[in-house]
Chain A
Amino acid sequence: MSTSASDPAAAPEAAGPAEPSGLYDLAVIGAGSAGLAGAVTAAELGLSVALLDTATGTGGQFYRHPAPAAGALRPEALHHDWSAYAGLRRRLEASTVTRLGGHHVWTVSREGGSDSRESGSAGGPAGGFAGGEGPWTVHAVTGADGCAERPVRVRARAVLLATGAYERQLPFPGWTLPGVVGAGGAQAMLKSGLVLPGKRVVVAGSGPLLLAVASSLAAAGARVPAVVEASGYLAYVRHPRVLAANPHKLAEAALHGGILLRHRVRLRTRSAVTEVHGRDRVEAVTVTRLDRDWRPLPGTSRRIACDALAVGHGLVPQIELATTLGCATRATPDRTTALVLDDLQETSVPDLWAAGEAGGIGGAQLARAEGELAGLAIVSRLRGRPARGGRVGKLQRRRDRMRAFADAMAAAHAPGPGWSRWLTDDTDVCRCEEVTAGTVRAAVADLGARDARTVKLLTRAGMGWCQGRMCGAGVACLAAGAGPGEPPAERRPLAVPVPLGALAALDGAAVGPVGEGPSAGPGDGPAA
């Protein structure tokens, strides 16, 4: 299908809230698979819904596609299961959902003052809030990169976090050289900008995303001399029942495998890129065999000429907004931190739901099921009815089946403890603050740091622009020594950088009716 007509979230006019008070029933943060499913489900059942996303279009990272101006006639050529997204988009266009694109949410707060974590969620009064709390306020800055300095506040009775994920990176010598890009980053730039980082692109790291990235790069015209996977795929075989229950995943893998075969892409398992060569940009990489614990095996290195490297080690749930509110978290099988959710997708904080990758990495299809389930649960809560029935049960079973698969896959690709052996002391670990592995190791060995937070205080690693998103996994592992090294669930009052002007505009401003906020004319933001 064509996207040239219009992208829903890019629509210039957004409808106002259903209520004159400017209070939505539901604010959904994130317009990817989970958020779209949750928003349209709730709106079709009569709730007033605001849908916020940093991007101007919808689809999230998985269904990222060119802006309408690119005139892409076949955006589905870069996507698996595009029809599922097309269906959600049609429902969104037909719905009353207020679409707020270009909104970067920096915090979510609750009116009423008391600590929401203390109150129970069960049996909230009909149409009211659990524990007698007031509504939520979602704070956002606007513009393509949040630089518009116009703060927006959206008030809602319930919030659904569908904030997705970002890529996990592990450092290695040369990874800061131009031409080294995230595997997901290369995919994102290709899907939206229709560009490649080079002509010969090595794809490396770990996780199922690598195969998808390599097959899209090859299909789009890049040479892919090798896909370098640190784990093996044999670990999947340890979960035969989980595999048999998820045939769609096998079909997807077979599709990528077929494309890679046709483009003669060499798959090297139990190997890693242990060094990047080049002065000001990538000229070649060194690939080394690994043992089961990801320790590089001496004497097994080979050099592969390339002009770009797309690298990533799985995905990390994006949960800062939730952890700042005190939501309980859990460690996932591949040692990321995800939100603890109940049977109906509610977090440990009442009236705050989550769906998709925030509850653990599982892919777009799982995100859709969870988004719909959360939408149904929220409608039930706001109407004071229990959430049950055939659809709820069916979605729960579907979710559990796909979660089991995601857990098996995560376990198979969990970073081995030996990876840090490929670091040299002068390898930058923190890209933003340019803190080397040697400095981090000294903080651990000489100064007694035992966790990422202490390392940050001693060395500034994780204190820069990205707030530790790129170096968090690496620093946590180095700080833990031989331990597993889970990055901490950080509490950040500001989830994204906020211009001082935007903060200043908050002072003394009344929380205005939302409909007059983001999409109407100038001068409509909260008065400064």
Chain B
Amino acid sequence: MARARTPADLVGAQPGPPFEITFDGRPVSALPGQSVAAALWAADILAWRTTRVGGRPRGAFCGIGQCYDCLATINGSPNRRACLVPARPGDAITTQEGHGHEHLGV
């Protein structure tokens, strides 16, 4: 394997045109076939949740849906595993604070 400049070069990826999602209101470009977490990583965003106790930033860790560290609020729904959910045009991703149910007052 020679060094490729990017992972997409390495596998000869020819995806369709990129589309836009938003992260906390700002536009992020995503490619067809990417998960929400992959699209955020590609934009150099590594954290999209703050923890319940310490309010610390977290993002994808295990990458395969086992650790639940990558929970995000996607289109208003909290606790979605960003590493599993495919990105779709227009998705609004927001940083999930704590358990994500703040509005319930619990």
Q: What is A's interface to B at a CB cutoff of 8 Å?
A: 54, 61, 66-75, 77-78, 144-145, 147, 166-167, 176, 178-182, 184-190, 192-197, 215, 218-221, 259, 263, 280-281, 431-434, 464-466, 469-470
Top-6 shortest CB links A-B: A193-B38, A185-B63, A70-B33, A465-B68, A73-B12, A67-B33
Expressed in whole angstroms, the minimum distance between the Cβ of A77 and any Cβ of chain B is: 5
Q: Is the CB of A145 within 8 A of B60?
A: no
Residues of A within 8 A of B7 (CB): 78, 190, 194-196, 220-221
* A/B interface sample: 26 pairs, CB < 8 A: A54-B84, A66-B11, A66-B33, A67-B34, A68-B33, A71-B13, A71-B32, A72-B11, A77-B4, A144-B84, A145-B65, A145-B80, A166-B62, A178-B59, A181-B62, A182-B61, A182-B67, A185-B61, A193-B41, A196-B41, A219-B1, A220-B4, A221-B6, A431-B69, A434-B53, A465-B67
Which residue in chain B gives the minimum CB-CB distance to A223?
B3
Give bound CA distance, A247 to B9, whole Å.
Answer: 31
Q: Is the CB of A431 within 8 A of B61?
A: yes
Residues of A within 8 A of B22 (CB): none
Which residue in chain A gives the minimum CB-CB distance to B1?
A219
**Interface: B101 (CB within 8 A):** no
Q: Is the CB of B32 within 8 A of A189?
A: no
Residues of A within 8 A of B84 (CB): 54, 144-145
Given contacts A181-B61, A182-B62, A470-B62, contact A73 B14 (CB under 8 A): yes
Expressed in whole angstroms, the minimum distance between the Cβ of B99 and any Cβ of chain A is: 10
Residues of A within 8 A of B5 (CB): 221
Interface residue from A71, A167, A219 paired with B10 (Cβ < 8 Å):
A219
Interface positions of B from 48 to 76, Cβ below 8 Å from A:
51-54, 56-69, 71
Residues of A within 8 A of B10 (CB): 74, 77-78, 219-221
Q: Is the CB of A176 within 8 A of B68?
A: no
Q: Is the CB of B58 within 8 A of A77?
A: no
Give bound CA distance, A74 to B1, whole Å.
Answer: 12
Q: Is the CB of A432 within 8 A of B68?
A: yes
Which residue in chain B gives the minimum CB-CB distance to A74?
B12
Q: List 19 additional contacts besides A71-B16, A194-B31, A195-B38; criterion CB under 8 Å.
A: A67-B32, A178-B47, A181-B62, A188-B62, A193-B34, A193-B37, A194-B38, A196-B7, A196-B41, A219-B2, A219-B10, A220-B6, A221-B10, A281-B57, A431-B67, A434-B51, A434-B54, A464-B68, A469-B66
Interface residue from A78, A147, A181, A281 paired with B60 (Cβ < 8 Å):
A181
Expressed in whole angstroms, the minimum distance between the Cβ of A18 and any Cβ of chain B is: 31
Residues of B within 8 A of A75 (CB): 11
Interface residue from B4, B35, B54 paired with A193 (Cβ < 8 Å):
B35
Residues of A within 8 A of B56 (CB): 176, 434
**Interface: B104 (CB within 8 A):** no
Give bound CA distance, A483 to B15, whole Å.
Answer: 52
Residues of B within 8 A of A196 (CB): 7, 41
Give bound CA distance, A44 to B66, whole Å.
Answer: 33
Residues of B within 8 A of A280 (CB): 47, 57
Given contacts A66-B33, A176-B56, A184-B64, contact A189 B14 (CB under 8 A): no
Give bound CA distance, A280 to B35, whole Å.
Answer: 23
Interface positions of B from 73 to 97, Cβ below 8 Å from A:
77, 80-81, 83-86
Most chain B beta carbons < 10 A, residue from A71, A188, A193, A263: A193
Expressed in whole angstroms, the minimum distance between the Cβ of B79 and any Cβ of chain A is: 8
Residues of A within 8 A of B2 (CB): 219
Residues of B within 8 A of A178 (CB): 46-47, 57-59
Given contacts A178-B46, A220-B4, contact A188 B63 (CB under 8 A): yes
Residues of B within 8 A of A192 (CB): 35, 38
Which residue in chain B gives the minimum CB-CB distance to A65?
B11
Give bound CA distance, A144 to B10, whole Å.
Answer: 26
Expressed in whole angstroms, the minimum distance between the Cβ of A120 and any Cβ of chain B is: 35
Q: Is the CB of B59 within 8 A of A77?
A: no
Give bound CA distance, A219 to B61, whole Å.
Answer: 21
Which residue in chain B gives the minimum CB-CB distance to A496?
B65
Q: Is the CB of B4 within 8 A of A189?
A: no
**Interface: B106 (CB within 8 A):** no
Expressed in whole angstroms, the minimum distance between the Cβ of B77 and any Cβ of chain A is: 7
Residues of B within 8 A of A67 (CB): 32-34, 86
Give bound CA distance, A61 to B63, whole Å.
Answer: 10
Residues of A within 8 A of B52 (CB): 434
Q: Is the CB of B41 within 8 A of A189?
A: yes
Which residue in chain B gives the minimum CB-CB distance to A56?
B86
Given contacts A218-B3, A219-B1, contact A71 B63 (CB under 8 A): no
Q: Is the CB of B33 within 8 A of A465?
A: no
Q: Is the CB of A281 within 8 A of B47?
A: yes
Give bound CA distance, A61 to B58, whole Å.
Answer: 23
Q: Is the CB of A73 within 8 A of B68?
A: no
Give bound CA distance, A303 to B2, whole Å.
Answer: 29
